Amino acid sequence: MALFDLPLAELLTYCPERVEPDDFDAFWRATLSDAARHELKPEFTPYDALLPGVRVQDARFSGYEGQRVAAWFLAPADVAGPLPCVVQFIGYGGGRGRPHEWLLWPAAGYAVLVVDSRGQGDGDTPDLPGGDTPQHSGLLTRGVLDPEQYYYRRLFTDAVRAVDAAAAHPDVDRTRIVVAGASQGGGIAQAVAGLHRHVRAALIDLPFLTHFRRATEITDSHPYQELADFCATNRDRIEQVFRTLGYFDGVNFAARATAPALYSVALMDDVCPPSTVLAAYNHYAGPKELQVWPYNGHEGGATFQPPIQLRWLRDLLG
């Protein structure tokens, strides 16, 4: 994929007008207040992952409507707490996977809580509520005609509660909790940074779920193509779709986030186009830095990104 979006000089100043419902804040206050009525009940059960240098626990906590959400908790075996903790969110179609996939953070001296994405991939958390609206294949349009039923209302609520679950672990320094993810995971981290006031920092790579309308107009790659296909079929409901998405657009969460953030963007990324990423970055209300990968697609910085993140967090957290 060659360069297809705005030139970098224009991207760095691209700050489109935000489109959000008038009751955006009230919607999320009500959603999270409802979730908080359910006891968090964090559980951390030792798990033998055959990794003697890492303490591994199978974690569970109550997310949306009290439904139990699965996660992995990993920490270095020979480092005493309290530790800074990374709450790690997963890309589209993925689940928490296996503990040995998440060794970077404990190797660097951090704890990590790897959070399942309900109903997705290699995970253990079903998406229980049904809903009564049509959808296209995939999860991006599940409940998209009604913000109360939309899939990402449930997933974002789980993610906010995950920060509380991490803070409840006795080995975690609750003043040094970082949210992190790439693609869908980056979009989730971005949303949580805007919704949870006790996030200390955010690592937001190539965020999905951001600047939805432009994404559907500039790329025909999936998953955004799911939205375009749904709108093509439901020609009379297009504005209803985008009204719902206004409650979940990363640009609107970025404008409310105050924790320091390290973003990354890839200029040849046709999955999460660079202008959608920069729209959120330029609206981000907290301190921020941007890593640009000029010749990469949706893989972004790949193995080059973690050392940059580790250095940035070391300087920030000590």
Q: Which residue matches tokens 């970025």?
A: 254
Is residue 122 among the annotated active site residues?
A: no
Name the residue type at position 112: V
- Residue 71 and residue 60 in contact, taking contact as beta carbons nearer than 8 Å: yes
Q: What CA–CA distance (Å, rounded) separates 275 from 173?
A: 36
Q: What CA–CA distance (Å, rounded) separates 152 from 138?
A: 12
Tell how strand 68-76 and strand 111-115 pair up: antiparallel
Q: Could you say which of 116, 127, 269, 270 is catalytic? A: 269
Is residue 173 among the annotated active site residues?
A: no
- Residue 121 and residue 94 in contact, taking contact as beta carbons nearer than 8 Å: yes
Task: Work out the angle between the directed axes of helices 184-195 and 151-168 (0-180°, nearest 10).
Answer: 70
For residue 274, whether the previous peptide bond is cis, meaning omega lies within 30 degrees of 0, is no
Q: Could you say which of 117, 183, 264, 275 is catalytic? A: 183
Pick the closest to residue 157 from 191, 182, 183, 185 (CA basis): 191
Q: What CA–CA distance (Å, rounded) separates 73 from 171?
A: 10
Task: Work out the angle between the directed axes of helices 24-36 and 151-168 (0-180°, nearest 10).
Answer: 50
- Residue 267 and residue 300 in contact, taking contact as beta carbons nearer than 8 Å: no
Query: How would you label 5-26 residue by residue, b for 16+ Cβ within 10 Å and e otherwise?
Result: bbeeeebeebeeebebeeebee
Residue 129 burial (CB count, 10 A) = 15
Is residue 183 among the annotated active site residues?
A: yes
Q: Which residues are tagged catalytic?
A: 183, 269, 298
